[in-house]
Amino acid sequence: MPRENRKRGKKYKKPVQNKPEPEADPDVHQEDADYEGDQETGNFGSGDRPSWVVREREPQVNLEAPFGYVDADVKAYFRTVELQIRDWQENPAHGSSGYSDANEHEQDPNEDRRLFLSAALQEMSGKELQLATDPDCSGILERMAYSMDDFTRRVFMDRLAGSYEQLSTHRFASHVCQTVLTVASETIAREARGNMPTVDPEQGELRTITQLVSDAAEELLPSLSSLVMDQFASHVVRILLVLFSPHLFPPDFNTIRSKRSSVWKSSQGTMKSVFASQGGPQGGKSALKAHTIPEFSELARRFVQQLRKDLDANEVRALAANKVASPVLQMLIEIEADQGMSDLPESLMDRALMGLITLHREDPSRKPEASDFLGTLLRDATSSHLLETLVTKSSPPIFRLLWSTYFQQQLPRLSVHPVANFVVARALSRIDQVQLGGVCEELGKSWQKIIKSSRVGIVKALVDRAVTLDSREGDLVEAVCSAFELKTPEDRVSFVPCVLHLATLSEHQARLKQPTPQGGLESSGKQKKLKRLPNSQPGTLQPQTQGALLLSSMMHMAYPHNSVLLESINSLSIPDLITMAHHPTSSRVLDAIFESSTVSQRARNKFVLRFVGHLHELVDDKFGSRVGDRLWAGSDPYLKEKIAKSLQLHEQSLAGSQYGKYFVRNMNLLLLKRDPDAWRAQQSSRGKVPISSTSGQTKSISSISTAEKPSEQPSAEAPPKLISKRKRKEGDDIDKVFDSTLGKKQKRSALPPAREEPNVFMGYDATGLEGVLGAIKDTPTGDKDRRHKKKKAR
């Protein structure tokens, strides 16, 4: 072809000559011959079908939509359903969707929502499987699941029965299964109490949620070994295990959903029942209910036995390093230990521990050799969680073998490891007094290295264990002081600032002296960058969470071991204390003073007295107001009166504060001004005695703080009502008028309950009342009368 006739992008191909014909399939010709030869007898040969029937092929499963695609019109309808339900969930006070007349005020406010959801459920009938696998409609089903009643949930789960294995491995349908099983826990709890909806027997038998969950577990049980390694199905198995053993896993168990799924769900807004205000099924975080059912416990046992049967020892150990299967293996080992199956040979724990349980049962006196596999678990970010479970759930003899083989004589190296230190901290929570003493001696020269590497969790675990065993508390205080270079009593005054900021004494003093023009403290070289507190004075460093946790644990030590902390806190200036109280991290240290049972009341009173005169600065903050509530609750009546009187000058400013107004309202300063005796009685009795006003009338409960409301009906043992008498000021104009004109005063025992203030005219007869009215008429009434006289003179 000439060059000028060629086109860009197309390649010239030469015509193919003498193309060979495709060879005939001998099997097809043989079937045709069989059919033609045996047509009269009816014998169609080995294929048993006529030659004109095309051989069928195996259907290809569409992994994206295994049950078919959803129609565009149906998908558009469910988008409108999602918008309406989402609006009701985020704004419960919003009105209906427009189905009812606005003038019908007596109608149930949830009636329109029930009609709307009923129409959506009717449209969903028969399309549950297609909607669950659709990328858009699966999220809508999750949102609707929280608003379904018990009967609707039973119908929905019954429609999914038989397809749970395929749904649990689907990218979108697996999340629908998770949500349905989560909200089903509420229905299971109600069914366990015998609260079940009525079902029409003519429409057939409908299984309960408990039976449906059991059947779903039976459906997934044969393929459990493959499901635990599936990135979608493993989360469905986790929720089933939580339903089977709710006493082992809290409702906020962090391995139920993946991180990506949790982030996506948080971006979808609030997910709860649109009938939550009417006592309907609740959604959100409180969905999983802890209710143990005997048949579920048996299913949990069967899950453990099935995994034992399907996997050998090497395959079980391979699950430890799998990011998807390792959390499921942890849960199964916890269930195995809870049901007393872990101390048997060939158990899941025995296989994960390289046969340590079998070795101990054969020869208890034999010391095992260290395994490279368990040494790898110590240092692997994924497998270390499994080793923490093994350390926590193992029996005491097995834990002693683990401690002596893998932890003892290796603590200085393991304690500073970025991963192994978490396992060591978990193991320290199980040691006894002898092992605690060995740990303190073994780590004697490594305390400063542990603090500098920010492995404070090791020290906190030791402090907590020492408090529990009541042993070695003084040695740990000295170890912490040596780690922060606090050698002399004068240096230990800075104990709390140094531990709170995780800096030695020399580093802390040097950093405080550095200039900070931009509000941040930057260090040169390899030193860390420490930020200042927001809106704080120059030289204030950012508190560290690990330091605050360590101080809170040390505050629970017995006296005099915790006196180092109390003396250091009392040595801080008032601005520093207020700065600590205004920070969300350091304020926990001040809370520990009132939470610890080892801190004496005298030490608490001394701490509270330091804030007298500065409480208006303390409580005018989000976190400082919480510390102020702690101070108020932990004070005796004498201190409370002193605090209240110190805030009388700042009552108006705190009343307009966003946070301080609640603190002032709790103190009830108005009652303190009007009736100090009644206020003291209220504080001493903590609101159990009715408070009486000046005239003997009982005050309304609304005028008393909600935190200290008195009982409406006094008990028979309650002391008599307190009546305080106040004298009027001498020389008042109205008193002079009464003295000159009033008649004999009649005594009244009490005032009518409808009036809050006494009426000055109620205690006099008709003659005296006429005299009062006449005197008031003749008495000049101020500027109004003077203006009237000037006008008359003109």
The full DSSP string for 608-671 is HHTTTTTHHHHSSSHHHHHHHHHHHHTS-HHHHHHHHHHTGGGHHHHHTSTTHHHHHHHHTHHH
**Of the candidates 154, 216, 193, which has an alpha carbon nearest to the alpha carbon of residue 289?**
193
Model confidence at 756, pLDDT cuts 50, 70, 90, reads very low
What is the span of the domain harbouring residue 773? 733-745+761-793
pLDDT surpassing 80 at residue 516 = no
> Residue 748's pLDDT is what?
45
Q: What average pLDDT does the segment 284-308 reach? A: 78
700 and 789 belong to one structural domain: no
Tokens of 342: 């872990």
Distance from C-alpha of 470 to C-alpha of 670, rounded to nearest angstrom: 48
Max Cα separation, the chain?
143
Distance from C-alpha of 93 to C-alpha of 111, rounded to nearest angstrom: 14
Instruction: Tell me, yes or no, whether 170 lies in a domain.
Output: yes
pLDDT surpassing 70 at residue 312 = yes
Q: Give, as one character, the DSSP assignment of residue 405.
A: I
Tell me: the pLDDT tens digits for 277-286?
544 444 444 4
In 3-state terms, the chain is what percent helix, strand and coil (to 5)? 55, 0, 45
**CB neighbourhood size of 82 (10 A):** 19
Q: How far is CA 733 from CA 234, 774, 775, in A?
A: 86, 15, 12
123 and 213 belong to one structural domain: yes
Domain boundary residue among 282, 309, 336?
309
101-140 b/e (C-beta count within 10 Å ≥ 16 → b)? eeeeeeeeebebbeebbeebbeebeebbbbbbbbeebbbb
Q: What is the pTM of this model?
A: 0.72
Tell me: the pLDDT tens digits for 362-398?
988 888 889 999 999 999 999 999 999 999 999 999 9
52-78 b/e (C-beta count within 10 Å ≥ 16 → b)? eeeeeeeeeeeeebbbeebeeebbeeb
Q: How far is CA 270 from CA 105, 137, 264, 285, 314, in A?
A: 28, 17, 12, 10, 44
Model confidence at 753, pLDDT cuts 50, 70, 90, reads very low
Domain boundary residue among 309, 325, 356?
309
Instruction: Tell me, yes or no, whether 706 lies in a domain.
Output: yes
Distance from C-alpha of 421 to C-alpha of 756, rounded to nearest angstrom: 66
Tell me: the pLDDT tens digits for 205-238?
788 999 999 999 999 999 999 999 999 999 999 9
Distance from C-alpha of 176 to C-alpha of 13, rounded to nearest angstrom: 54
Domain boundary residue among 309, 343, 359?
309
Give ∠ CA 125-128-134 in degrees, rounded to 5: 135
132 and 171 belong to one structural domain: yes
> What SS3 class is residue 143?
helix
136 and 238 belong to one structural domain: yes
Instruction: Tell me, yes or no, whether 222 lies in a domain.
Output: yes
Q: How far is CA 319 from CA 127, 316, 322, 324, 386, in A?
A: 37, 5, 5, 8, 10
Tokens of 609: 């007295």
Which residues lie below 8 Å from residue 93, measured CB to CB, with a gap of 6+?
A: none
Are the C-beta atoms of residues 681 and 660 closer than 8 Å to each other?
no
Q: How many residues make up the chain in this entry?
A: 794
pLDDT surpassing 70 at residue 31 = no
83 and 187 belong to one structural domain: yes
> Per the structure, how many domains does the chain have?
3
Q: Dihedral sign, CA of 269, 271, 274, 275?
A: negative
Point out which residues pair with 541 in neighbouring strands.
532
682 and 778 belong to one structural domain: no
690 and 787 belong to one structural domain: no
pLDDT surpassing 60 at residue 95 = no
Instruction: Tell me, yes or no, whether 248 lies in a domain.
Output: yes
689 and 772 belong to one structural domain: no
Which residues lie below 8 Å from residue 734, measured CB to CB, with a gap of 6+?
A: 760
191 and 146 belong to one structural domain: yes
Model confidence at 271, pLDDT cuts 50, 70, 90, reads confident
> Residue 61's pLDDT is what?
62
Q: How far is CA 111 from CA 33, 101, 102, 124, 274, in A?
A: 72, 12, 13, 20, 11
184 and 278 belong to one structural domain: yes
> Residue 15's pLDDT is what?
53
681 and 785 belong to one structural domain: no
Instruction: Tell me, yes or no, whether 300 lies in a domain.
Output: yes
Tokens of 693: 């006003």
Instruction: Tell me, yes or no, whether 188 lies in a domain.
Output: yes
**Of the candidates 309, 348, 347, 346, which has an alpha carbon nearest to the alpha carbon of residue 328?**
348
Instruction: Tell me, yes or no, whether 572 lies in a domain.
Output: no
Instruction: Tell me, yes or no, whether 685 lies in a domain.
Output: yes
Tokens of 669: 């300063």
686 and 738 belong to one structural domain: no
| Residue linked to tokens 């107004």 | 661
